[in-house]
């Protein structure tokens, strides 16, 4: 205590007029915040353990609970703010690297919110999506540069392998291990029902999910966990993970205690061994090296699967993307710095990388300028939060978006940002069987389907308003965007005019 003491961040407020002491809060809190005092017949709380995941609040049948941010105040100032002071205290206590989960919470600019979408008035009519067809289907992959004909004049089908999506949204990579079996089952089932794609992440593909292959992207990351021939051939596409928006330049570390049973089998590593994904791919130090891996994977899959290269959005992303586009990759996925993670060093998550909006615009412009835009499709990820974010991303030049945090929210995640503890009360970021079972994929997949269907409706409405009836016609159509409150450099990079212009 004394100098080590940190006042709890949250307080549990229990309305004793409503509490019926049913103890559901106690049973549902893996952090053991709540307890029952049999002598007094009342519930008690130890808020020092509370992470504000809202599980107890959500399940309390009488709405007797709420969690509030404590108003116990440190003497902060504009420079030394509460979080900064607390971090120093924590590190002085522990001597360790601070770990965090999910996306960057800092007040960095969110460019999605500084761009406005156009609508048709008078001179060109809007389209009513309830009355007229509206195409949300997209194909991802390299597009052929020219039409080839055989000696009889028939067109030769020279289309490289493509990913077909019913809407321009995919669930991005989250490994089995970082999230639970039931979370994967929910994503896989929803992707199948929606006609979109989910992504295995770097943890391999559980044998139960091979049947969802046509809705699966299998990932090959620096640890090569769970990679084998059947795995590569199981999915609709292969993704080489070079980096992740939340922690560019950093590898991954799934501690040995989480490598149990199915996870060890799926990752193809012994139970109890740490799963360490190195920061670099040890065989990739150049675009030429990357090209070798791309073609190794294409060889292994007989050139039937598109290959995606996923990189974090960093400073010279445009040049990097240009290199990738020339490496033989079919698709480039760019992950912005607000993207989520199961665990990352806090200061890397919060300070490394650049926003997806700027990276996407820069890459799209660069590839166009170099005349190689059609060599690849572009996927934008790293905090795409809504249908309007998707529409803006497409207009900036993306072919499709990756979403993960929004998908987890649909599954019940309350963004408590303590995935690294392994005690996810919503059964998502945990491998404890008693917690994993809290996520019933019947419910989870239905909620994902609901969310995506809602977005699809909204995307159609927004496109209709612009007088656009297909995603293809929206793609890279930056005239549909205007900046608000942005400086001229930002507008220049985004390639858009300011509102009013």
- The crossing angle, in degrees rounded to 10, of helices 356-369 and 317-325 is 50
Per rule CB under 8 A, is residue 69 in the interface with other proteins? no
CA distance 357 to 349: 17
Draw the binding track, 124-163, toward other proteins (x: CB under 8 A; -: no contact).
----------------------------------------
Structure tokens at 240: 């080489």
Per rule CB under 8 A, is residue 443 in the interface with other proteins? yes
DSSP tag of 75: -
Pick the binder of other proteins from 9, 10, 11, 22 (CB under 8 A). 22
CA distance 388 to 58: 28
Per rule CB under 8 A, is residue 93 in the interface with other proteins? no
SS (H, E, C) 80-126: CCHHHHHHHHHHHHHCCCCEECCCCCCCCCCHHHHEEECCCCCCCCC
Instruction: Give Rg (Cα) of the chain.
Output: 24
**Nearer of residues 37 and 442 to other proteins, judged by Cβ:** 442
**Nearer of residues 59 and 287 to other proteins, judged by Cβ:** 59
Per rule CB under 8 A, is residue 450 in the interface with other proteins? no
Per rule CB under 8 A, is residue 283 in the interface with other proteins? no
Q: Which 3 state secondary structure label does DSSP give 361?
A: helix
Which residue from 411, 394, 408 is spatially nearest to 462, judged by alpha carbons?
Answer: 394
Structure tokens at 351: 């300070």
Minimum CB–partner distance for residue 61 and other proteins (Å): 6
Per rule CB under 8 A, is residue 59 in the interface with other proteins? yes
Contact 346, 98 (CB under 8 A): yes
Per rule CB under 8 A, is residue 38 in the interface with other proteins? no
Per rule CB under 8 A, is residue 62 in the interface with other proteins? yes
Structure tokens at 353: 């990388």
Pick the binder of other proteins from 12, 29, 53, 64 (CB under 8 A). 64
Segment contacting other proteins (CB under 8 A): 109-117, 261-269, 385-393, 433-441? 433-441
Per rule CB under 8 A, is residue 61 in the interface with other proteins? yes
Which residue from 472, 431, 401, 418 is spatially nearest to 134, judged by alpha carbons?
Answer: 472
CA distance 290 to 241: 11
Per rule CB under 8 A, is residue 473 in the interface with other proteins? no
Minimum CB–partner distance for residue 58 and other proteins (Å): 8
Per rule CB under 8 A, is residue 44 in the interface with other proteins? no
Minimum CB–partner distance for residue 463 and other proteins (Å): 35
Segment contacting other proteins (CB under 8 A): 79-87, 278-286, 440-448, 470-478? 440-448
For 46-67, letters b (16+ CB in 10 Å) and e give ebebbbbbbbbbebbeeebbeb
DSSP tag of 269: S
Which residue from 410, 339, 328 is spatially nearest to 172, judged by alpha carbons?
Answer: 339
DSSP tag of 176: B
> Could you please report the per-residue DSSP string of 368-407?
HHTT-GGG-EEEEES---SHHHHHHHHHHT-SEEEESHHH
**Nearer of residues 137 and 437 to other proteins, judged by Cβ:** 437
Sequence-separated (6 or more) residues with CB below 8 Å from residue 303: 160, 161
Per rule CB under 8 A, is residue 437 in the interface with other proteins? yes
**Nearer of residues 253 and 432 to other proteins, judged by Cβ:** 432
Per rule CB under 8 A, is residue 20 in the interface with other proteins? yes
**Nearer of residues 61 and 371 to other proteins, judged by Cβ:** 61
Per rule CB under 8 A, is residue 392 in the interface with other proteins? no
Q: Which 3 state secondary structure label does DSSP give 453?
A: helix
Per rule CB under 8 A, is residue 107 in the interface with other proteins? no
Structure tokens at 129: 């999506």
Pick the binder of other proteins from 316, 434, 454, 479 (CB under 8 A). 434
Which residue from 113, 185, 60 is spatially nearest to 385, judged by alpha carbons?
Answer: 113
Among positions 334-353, residues that touch other proteins (CB under 8 A) are: none
Minimum CB–partner distance for residue 423 and other proteins (Å): 15
Question: Taking the chain, what is the end-to-end CA distance rounded to the nearest angstrom?
Answer: 60
**Nearer of residues 142 and 438 to other proteins, judged by Cβ:** 438
Segment contacting other proteins (CB under 8 A): 14-22, 29-37, 203-211, 490-498? 14-22
Pick the binder of other proteins from 5, 17, 71, 371 (CB under 8 A). 17
Pick the binder of other proteins from 273, 440, 453, 497 (CB under 8 A). 440
Per rule CB under 8 A, is residue 27 in the interface with other proteins? yes
The contact set with other proteins (CB under 8 A) reads: 17-24, 27-28, 41, 58-59, 61-62, 64, 433-434, 437-438, 440, 442-443
């Amino acid at each position: 205590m004394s100098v080590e003491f940190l006042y709890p961040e949250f307080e549990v407020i229990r309305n004793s007029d409503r509490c019926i002491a049913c103890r559901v809060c106690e049973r549902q809190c893996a952090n053991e915040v709540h307890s029952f005092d049999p002598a007094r017949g009342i519930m008690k709380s130890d808020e020092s353990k509370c992470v504000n995941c809202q599980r107890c609040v959500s399940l309390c049948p009488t709405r007797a609970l709420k969690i509030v941010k404590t108003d116990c105040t440190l003497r902060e100032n504009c420079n030394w703010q509460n979080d900064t002071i607390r971090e120093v205290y924590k590190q002085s206590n522990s001597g360790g690297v601070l770990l965090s989960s999910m996306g960057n919470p800092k007040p960095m600019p969110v460019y999605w919110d500084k761009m406005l979408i156009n609508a048709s008035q008078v001179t060109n009519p809007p389209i009513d999506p309830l009355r007229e067809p509206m195409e949300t289907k997209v194909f991802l992959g390299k597009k052929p540069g020219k039409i080839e004909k055989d000696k009889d004049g028939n067109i030769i089908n020279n289309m490289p392998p493509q990913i077909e999506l019913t809407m321009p949204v995919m669930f991005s990579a989250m490994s089995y291990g970082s999230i639970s079996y039931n979370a994967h089952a929910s994503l896989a089932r929803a992707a199948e029902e929606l006609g979109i794609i989910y992504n295995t992440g770097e943890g391999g593909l559980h044998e139960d999910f091979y049947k969802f292959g046509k809705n699966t992207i299998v990932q090959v990351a620096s640890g090569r966990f769970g990679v084998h021939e059947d795995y590569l051939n199981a999915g609709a596409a292969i993704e080489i993970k070079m980096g992740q928006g939340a922690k560019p330049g950093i590898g991954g570390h799934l501690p040995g205690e989480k490598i149990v049973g199915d996870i060890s089998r799926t990752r193809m590593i012994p139970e109890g061994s740490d799963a360490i994904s190195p920061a670099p791919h040890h065989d990739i130090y150049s675009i030429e090296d990357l090209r070798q891996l791309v073609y190794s994977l294409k060889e292994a899959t007989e050139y039937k699967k598109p290959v995606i290269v996923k990189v974090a959005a960093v400073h010279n992303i445009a040049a990097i993307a240009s290199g990738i586009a020339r490496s033989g990759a079919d698709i480039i996925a760019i992950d912005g710095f607000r993207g989520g993670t199961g665990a990352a060093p806090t200061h890397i998550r919060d300070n490394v990388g650049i926003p997806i909006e700027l990276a996407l615009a820069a890459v799209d412009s660069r590839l166009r300028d170099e005349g190689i835009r059609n060599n690849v499709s572009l996927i934008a990820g790293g905090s795409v939060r809504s249908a309007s974010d998707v529409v803006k991303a497409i207009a900036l030049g993306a072919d499709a978006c990756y979403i993960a945090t929004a998908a987890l929210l649909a599954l019940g995640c309350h963004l408590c940002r303590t995935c690294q503890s392994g005690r996810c009360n919503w059964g998502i970021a945990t491998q404890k069987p008693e917690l994993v079972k809290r996520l019933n994929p019947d419910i989870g997949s239905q909620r994902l389907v609901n969310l995506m269907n809602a977005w699809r409706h909204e995307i159609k409405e927004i496109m209709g308003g612009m007088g656009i009836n297909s995603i293809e016609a929206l793609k890279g159509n930056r005239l549909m965007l205007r900046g608000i409150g942005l400086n001229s450099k930002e507008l220049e990079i985004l390639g858009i005019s300011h509102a009013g212009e």
